[in-house]
């Protein structure tokens, strides 16, 4: 069993009967969804809110009932992967292009569990490109403003065309090399007109489930 499967299935153990669960996006969360679907077939009663159209399709495939924000008052638990996580449980997310919906759901959750294989662990963020979701109109100027913050931004492409998010926006992948102050950078990016959201998740994760020395480790964020 590989690391992604181990941490993905472990996260499913935190889902309790009657919960509203935020369902993340990505290859690690795939195993959480699959395990959760098995639990539903065995009698667990939950409802999920997906972070992407891809996740919604997988949830239906695995038999996980879905709901939306119109019918709930909050989310009990959100489970999602990450592209990079530092020692303080700050994250870079957005490699799958779903960062906006992922952040909305993580913010709405009473508890946010992050799952990551050992390759995602880092002392500091930045060696993985930071994804920023921007509106198409005036994106050239928006990218110049991002570049002024010290980044090398590139529009994400898919099959020789710009990648379009589920929200109809562009993704700009930004090389910052090393992010010394993630909270400040998050605020600066989101103050730029045209930026919808960025992939820095600062102080949001409640727990991290990962692999260290071939063992599952659960770390909690220090408040």
* 35-66 per-position pLDDT tens digit: 999 999 999 999 999 999 999 999 999 999 99
Looking at the chain, the domain(s) classified CATH 3.30.70.260 span 130-196
Q: What percent of the chain has pLDDT over 90?
A: 97
pLDDT at 21: 98
Cα angle vertex 143, ends 181, 198, to 5°?
A: 45
89: left (phi over 0), alpha (psi -120 to 50) or beta: left
- Which residue, 184, 217, 219, 220, is CA-closest to 202? 184
- Which residue, 62, 92, 77, 102, is CA-closest to 15? 77
Calpha distance 129→178 (Å, rounded): 10
Calpha distance 42→30 (Å, rounded): 19
Question: What's the average model confidence in pLDDT over 114-132?
Answer: 97
CA 60 and chain centroid, separation: 20
Question: What's the average model confidence in pLDDT over 81-97?
Answer: 97
Calpha distance 64→32 (Å, rounded): 11
Calpha distance 44→216 (Å, rounded): 24
Looking at the chain, the domain(s) classified CATH 3.40.50.1360 span 3-120+202-216
Mean of the per-residue pLDDT values of the chain: 97
* CATH class of the domain defined by 130-196: alpha beta
Asked if residues 7 and 28 have their Cβ atoms less than 8 Å apart, the reply is yes
Question: What's the average model confidence in pLDDT over 66-75?
Answer: 95
CATH number listed for the domain at residues 3-120+202-216 = 3.40.50.1360
For residue 216, pLDDT over 90 is answered with: yes
For residue 155, pLDDT over 60 is answered with: yes
- Which residue, 126, 47, 61, 142, is CA-closest to 90? 126
pLDDT at 221: 82
In sequence order, which ranges of the chain are alpha helices (DSSP H)?
3-12, 29-41, 53-62, 99-108, 139-147, 182-190
CA 42 and chain centroid, separation: 28
For residue 223, pLDDT over 70 is answered with: no
Active site residues: 102
Give residue-wise pLDDT tens across range 179-204. 999 999 999 999 999 999 999 999 99
- Which residue, 136, 149, 138, 137, is CA-closest to 191? 149
Q: Structure pTM? A: 0.95
């Amino acid at each position: 069993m590989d690391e992604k499967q181990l941490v993905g299935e472990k996260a499913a153990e935190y889902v309790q009967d009657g919960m509203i669960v935020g369902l993340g996006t990505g290859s690690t969360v795939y195993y959480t969804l699959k395990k959760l679907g098995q639990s539903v077939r065995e009698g667990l009663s939950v409802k999920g809110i997906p972070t992407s159209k891809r996740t919604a399709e997988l949830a239906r495939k695995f038999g996980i009932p879905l709901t939306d924000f119109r019918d709930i008052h909050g989310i009990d638990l959100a489970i999602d992967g990450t592209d990079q996580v530092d020692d303080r449980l700050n994250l870079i997310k957005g490699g799958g292009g779903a960062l906006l919906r992922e952040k909305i759901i993580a913010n709405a959750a009473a508890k946010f569990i992050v799952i990551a294989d050992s390759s995602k662990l880092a002392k500091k963020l930045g060696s993985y490109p930071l994804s920023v979701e921007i509106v198409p109109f005036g994106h050239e100027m928006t990218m110049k403003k991002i570049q002024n913050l010290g980044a090398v931004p590139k529009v994400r492409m898919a099959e020789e065309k710009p990648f379009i998010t589920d929200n109809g926006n562009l993704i700009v992948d930004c090389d910052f090399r090393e992010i010394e102050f993630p909270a400040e950078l998050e605020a600066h990016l989101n103050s730029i007109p045209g930026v919808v959201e960025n992939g820095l998740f600062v102080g949001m994760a409640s727990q991290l489930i990962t692999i260290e020395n071939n063992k599952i480790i659960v770390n909690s964020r220090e408040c």
